[in-house]
Structure 1
C-alpha cells in the first residue's frame, strides 16, 4: 500500500508508515501525525493481492480519520477490485462476493474510489463515488500496441461471450480498424474444465490479439491460442488488464508470443521470465 499526500499547491509526497502483522494475524498500522500537517488530499494506492492488504486499507483509513482529518479528501486507487468475479450467485447458498466487498469499501465513506477495468458493470453500480478506468484507456498506454490497432494490423479476438462487449469497444475506439473475431468455449460445469474452444472467424496468416480483463491460471487463453495457431494465425498476443498468472508465464510458451498487462496485481519482477514469452507491463 502506498500513501500519497497532496498539499494545497498540488505538491505530492509519499508518506512512510509503520505496518506489521501480529502473531495472531491482526494487522497493525501507525502514521506520524506531522507527515500530514500540510495535507489537503490523501490518495491510498492498494494492490489487493491478499486479504491482509484489504484489512490494512481499513485500518489506514480509520487511523487517518482519527488524526482529525475529516475535512481532508481521502481517495482510493484500487486497480484490481477483489471479488469482482463473484458478481452473481450461481448456486443457492453462495455469497455475492462483489457486493460484500463493495459494502465494506462504501463503509469507509471515501471521497473517490478508482478501479481499473471492472470485471462487469456490477462493481461500478455497487460502489459509491466510483471511477472505472476503461480497458481502452489502459490499452492506450502501450504505444506499439496502440499503433498496431490504429492501423488495423491486429485481429481482435474475444475469448468468450462475456468479453464481447469490451472487445467491440476496443475496435470502435480505434475507428473500427481492427477486425473482431468471436470465440466461444464449452465448460464442464462440475469440474470447470474447458471441453472445447471454437473460433468463429478467419485468422489464417493474421496477427491476432486476444483481449480480456483478468488472467488467472491462463487456461482459457492457452486453449484458445492452440486453436488460433492450428487455424493458421501468424502470431498470438494477449492483453489482460489484471495479470494474476498464478501458474507463471511458462504455460504460455509456444502459444502466446506477447502479453500486455498492468501491475494491478503483481510487479514484472515477481514473475520468472520466459524466453518465448515477451511480457509488457505498465505500472502504477
Structure 2
C-alpha cells in the first residue's frame, strides 16, 4: 500500500473523471501520527495531500511525521535547458505546504532536496550500509567502492568513512560519463584506476533502467576485476533485473518498486525490512 497512517493503509479510489478519493479510520489517528508515503505516481502524491487534510480534520492539533523513502521529482535538481521546470522545487513546495513537524527522506538524489525541505531529516547511504550485513562483508573482505560519476563521489566517500576500521580504509574510486542533457543518453564511460583482481561495489542512490551501471561494469570487466556488485538505495529497475544479470553478482537496495513476482531474492537483496533507525 503506497500510503500508511500509523502502519494502517488508507482507503482510496478514483472517480470516473480521474479525481482521487481518500478515507481513513479516525481510530488510527494519535496525537503524534506517522505517515509513510511511497509516492511512485502523481495519483499517490495527490492521495498524500488528501490524507494529511483528512487527518487534520479528525485531530486539528495532530503532530505529523512524514516518511518519504524515495522523494519524487528530486532527480531534476537544476535546470539544464531553457524551458524546463525545476521539479524538485515544485515537489518540495507541495510537501512544505503540508506543514509537517518532521519529514524523513531516505538518501535523496542531492543536497538540494534537503535544503529545500522544512523540518527535514535525512537517512543516508552510510547510515543504511553501516547497519547492513553487506557493510560487514565490505570491511572483512576489503572491497573497493566505486562511484559511477562525480555526482555520487561525495556519498561514496562517506560510506567508506563509516565502514573503514581504525587501521584499514576502504579504497574509493570514481568513474566518469558523458551524457547528452537533452536526450539523457550516455555517450561515453571511463574508469582509469587499477582494480585488477579486486572485488568492487558500485554505489549510487538510484537505479532506473541501469545503463549507467552496465556501461561502467563493462569497463570494469575489461580491467579483470574479481567480482562486481551494485548497491543502490532506490531500485526502480524500470527494465527489470534481466539486463543487469550479466554484469553483477548481486544487487543490493534499500527498497524497490518491483512487485514480488518481479524480484529474485538470490540476486536482489532488499534492506528495508531490516533497517530500523528511521
Query: How far apart in 1 are the matches of 2:105 and 2:11?
Result: 26
SS in structure 1 of the partner of residue 4 of structure 2: strand
Change (3 A) 1:61 1:188: closer
TM-aligned CA deviation for residue 170 of structure 1: 1.1
Q: Does structure 1 conserve the Cα–Cα contact (< 8 Å) formed by 2:80 and 2:181? A: no
Runs of 4+ in 1 over 6 A off after TM superposition: none
Query: How far apart in 1 are the matches of 2:196 and 2:159?
Result: 22
Unpaired segments ≥5 residues, structure 2: 274-278
How big is each residue's C-alpha offset from its partner over 1:225-274, in whole Å with a ceiling of 9 and x where there is no partner? 011011101110000001100000000121111101022x4156152539
Q: Does structure 1 conserve the Cα–Cα contact (< 8 Å) formed by 2:195 and 2:224? A: yes
- Out of 106, 114, 123, the position equivalent to 2:104 is 114
How many residue pairs get aligned? The number is: 269
Report what 2:218 is aligned to. 226
Report what 1:266 is aligned to. 257
Asked if residue 237 in structure 1 is aligned to residue 220 in structure 2, the reply is: no
Asked if residue 27 in structure 1 is aligned to residue 20 in structure 2, the reply is: yes
SS in structure 2 of the partner of residue 90 of structure 1: coil
Query: How far apart in 1 are the matches of 2:53 and 2:261?
Result: 31
Report what 2:239 is aligned to. 247
Normalising to structure 2: TM-score of the pair?
Answer: 0.91
Report what 1:59 is aligned to. 50
SS in structure 2 of the partner of residue 151 of structure 1: helix
Report what 1:129 is aligned to. 119
Change (3 A) 1:15 1:279: closer
Change (3 A) 1:152 1:20: same
Unpaired segments ≥5 residues, structure 1: 6-13
- RMSD of aligned Cα (Å): 1.8
SS in structure 2 of the partner of residue 140 of structure 1: helix
Q: Does structure 2 conserve the Cα–Cα contact (< 8 Å) formed by 1:187 and 1:195? A: yes
Report what 2:4 is aligned to. 3
Instruction: Kindly report which structure 2 residues correspond to 1:205-224, keeping only aligned pairs within 5 A, or say none.
Output: 205-224=197-216
Q: Does structure 1 conserve the Cα–Cα contact (< 8 Å) formed by 2:145 and 2:170? A: yes
Normalising to structure 1: TM-score of the pair?
Answer: 0.89
Query: How far apart in 1 are the matches of 2:9 and 2:224?
Result: 53
